[in-house]
Amino acid sequence: MNNDKMEKIVSLCKRRGFVFQGSEIYGGLAGVFDYGPNGVELLNNIKKAWWKANVYDKENYFGLDSGMFKHPRVWEASGHTSGFSDPLAECRECNTRIRVDKELEKVGVTADEKMTEEEINRLFDEQRDKIVCPKCGKKNFSPARAFNLLVKSNLGDFTSEGAEPVYLPGEACQGIYLNYKNILDSMSPKLPFGIVQIGKAFRNEISPRNFLFRTREMEQADTQLFVKPNENKDAYEAVKQERFNWYLSIGIKEENLKWKQHENLVFYASDAWDIMYNFPALGFDELEGVHDRTNYDLTQHMEYSGIDLRYTDPETGEKYIPWILETSVGLGRLFLAVISDAYHEEEMDGSTRVVLKLHKDLAPYKVAVSPLLKNKPELVAKAREVFTVLKKEFGNVAWDDNGNIGKRYRRQDEIGTPSCIVIDFDTLGEEQPELKDTVTVRDRDTGKQERVTIANLVGYLK
């Protein structure tokens, strides 16, 4: 059922202009997706809701948009050039590559990318008879080796001789650490304060799969809260709670969310939890990471750059490196979670309808406007009038005059449009003058229709 749901979601996303395979006309490029007209609206609305919660609703959080390319030393300081890898093994029969930690997890063995090659190979060898190649079904794999996920570019290298490569970002948050001092100097924040950013990241994922869940190009929405050393525990609990509640506030069902604590912490981390979502085809898997990173990131950048990144305490004059509490969610995974949570199939008017019960703030269109018949100029003119008023008020309003009204409702249900407005002959007041200048408003979730005067329409929809 869950697998089936994933297929239905992928198909809906293509059919209704949400998400397309990247470079589709050339056969596609693995791990890259393009957001279509409805998808980009939903994605932007998700970003707006996230930005509002993490910048506008706070007083001490600052937004940032840093450049994607960074000095090569950044990725050395962060540990990515040496340690940002996944364990890869190759099928000796058909050359398919597998990510060994994920295959081990599937057979119930806890493993992760932080383990050494020896540790992971010991576990892999113990479980070899249970792990089969997803392509040919054989069990003949090479040993696991660490495969670095950073994507290289040749930016600024005109020699082709392999000068130090400039990498694409392996994670978006490094831009925050690099600008921490700029923000201290320009905005004079006092601890605790946060810096937030939505940015692109690229990973040479060994096996991109499960639609938007694991892609090679992605966007991450990150917050980094800088706190006094050792004043992390309460703040960490508060950040965790806030992030969990945010998902509820955008309409995600609580039963589809849960926490998972990391068992195998990286050496510098003090604590790490993931918010898990019950993804179609996958079950519960990581949606967002909430990490207590101590002073590792700024310490590393201070050492590698030689620039003093300490904070001067305004009360005591003491200098120290703040600790960081990080939250990071991939927007593709979030998009998939939002659509999956909103996806419903239900009986209505004698047939099954597919409806996206999206939170109203996230829906691509706030409302759709239709003239009952598209070949009656007086209906079209009146509908255009209403459309113009609503567009001014709500921005993204759909004009839908294609097919009969029933088909239009079903189409808007699949896009998740909360209300559909129909301008009919009663609106013109031809037979019942008391209905003049009223329209039908149909609710997406209940299918109920109400008659509302045009003058009250904006207030009613709000």
Contact residues toward ligand ATP (CB under 6 A) are: 171, 203, 205, 214-215, 218, 220, 286-289, 328-330, 332-333
Nearer to ligand ATP, 172 or 383 (CB): 172
Beta-carbon contacts of 239 under 8 Å, excluding residues fewer than 6 positions away, are 223, 225, 290, 325, 327
Min dist CB 451 to ligand ATP, Å, is 45
Round to whole Å and give the CA distance between 191 and 312: 10
Nearer to ligand ATP, 294 or 438 (CB): 294
Min dist CB 213 to ligand ATP, Å, is 6
Round to whole Å and give the CA distance between 98 and 101: 9
Min dist CB 324 to ligand ATP, Å, is 14
Q: Which residue is nearest to ligand ATP (CB)?
A: 330
Which pair of structure tokens corresponds to residue 202?
């690229």
Round to whole Å and give the CA distance between 358 and 445: 10
Min dist CB 192 to ligand ATP, Å, is 22
Angle at 264 between CA 262 and CA 270, to 5 degrees: 70
Which pair of structure tokens corresponds to residue 250?
């955008």
Q: Count the Cβ atoms, other than its own, within 10 Å of residue 376.
A: 16
Nearer to ligand ATP, 288 or 297 (CB): 288
Min dist CB 203 to ligand ATP, Å, is 5
Min dist CB 44 to ligand ATP, Å, is 18
**Run of H or E including 227:** strand 217-227
Nearer to ligand ATP, 41 or 205 (CB): 205
Would you call the peptide bond into 192 cis, given omega within 30 degrees of 0 as the criterion? yes
Question: Exposed/middle/buried for 347, CB within 10 Å: 0-12, 13-18, 19+?
Answer: exposed
Residue listed under structure tokens 């009146």: 382
Nearer to ligand ATP, 66 or 412 (CB): 66
Nearer to ligand ATP, 76 or 437 (CB): 76
Min dist CB 19 to ligand ATP, Å, is 13
Nearer to ligand ATP, 214 or 444 (CB): 214
User: Which residue, among 4, 12, 20, has the nearest Cα to 338 in the 3D structure?
Assistant: 12
Which pair of structure tokens corresponds to residue 224?
């980094």
Round to whole Å and give the CA distance between 277 and 260: 10
Round to whole Å and give the CA distance between 233 and 239: 10
User: Which residue, among 376, 362, 298, 315, has the nearest Cα to 334 in the 3D structure?
Assistant: 362
Nearer to ligand ATP, 203 or 408 (CB): 203
Min dist CB 220 to ligand ATP, Å, is 5
